[in-house]
Amino acid sequence: MEQTQFKENVILVDADYVDEVAGNLKEYFRKTLSRDIPLADMADWLVCAALDGGVPADSKGVQCFFIHRPGTLCLKSFTPGDLRKELDGVGFKDQALGEFLLACLPDQSPVQDDFFCECVRALLGSKEVGRLVLVPDLARSGDGLTRLMAETRTDKQVTLLGMMPQEGFEHVVLGFGLLHAMGVKSEEIK
């Protein structure tokens, strides 16, 4: 990842984690609302994640990296969801935010939080990146991310999308964008 040319706005996602959260939300709201909840629209969710991370409307696009475990081939709660055929090396254009470029990276690290944290370290060290949106599995990477942010001085805007706040990060609730991407409207939630 350190040899990659980055965009100013980057979203780094633990794909296995976001798929699990989306699946749990889908099942919970299927029962709660007594209706079928569709798969989350990947493009819609990424636009929500970018907006939650503060990407401005006049941006020159967003680069999205999906880190996944080697055995994960498809995200079950998203459409499109095939990591190799549908999400790796593709892109789409949003009218307001510009081009989104997607790449999938298998996590080959033997230590739980090393690869995600190493990617964050590379992104923080890049002169091109100005805004970083992180979607980590805090059970796997939370301690490493907290240590990394404590020892790194940065002028980059870093936002964490998660279900729980993490010390040292601006936090936005991950579930809101996922629900929007699944077509669950705020007025349905009481």
Could you write out the DSSP letters of every residue in 89-133? T-EEEETTTEEEEEEEEE---SSTTHHHHHHHHHHHT-SS--EEE
By percentage, how much of the chain surpasses pLDDT 90? 74
Banded model confidence at residue 113, pLDDT cuts 50, 70, 90: low
Lowest-confidence pick of 37-51, 126-140, 143-157: 143-157
Comparing CA positions, the residue from 76, 42, 39 lying closest to residue 184 is 39
Banded model confidence at residue 142, pLDDT cuts 50, 70, 90: confident
More confident residue, 113 or 72: 72
Comparing CA positions, the residue from 25, 50, 20, 49 lying closest to residue 38 is 25
Comparing CA positions, the residue from 185, 131, 134, 181 lying closest to residue 162 is 134
Q: What pLDDT does residue 2 have?
A: 54
Residue 154 scores a pLDDT above 90:
no
CB 66 within 8 A of CB 87: yes
Residue 3 scores a pLDDT above 70:
no
Residue 111 scores a pLDDT above 80:
no
- pTM, two decimal places: 0.94
pLDDT in tens, 13-66: 999 999 999 999 999 999 999 999 999 999 999 999 999 999 998 888 999 999
pLDDT in tens, 77-102: 999 999 999 999 999 999 999 999 99
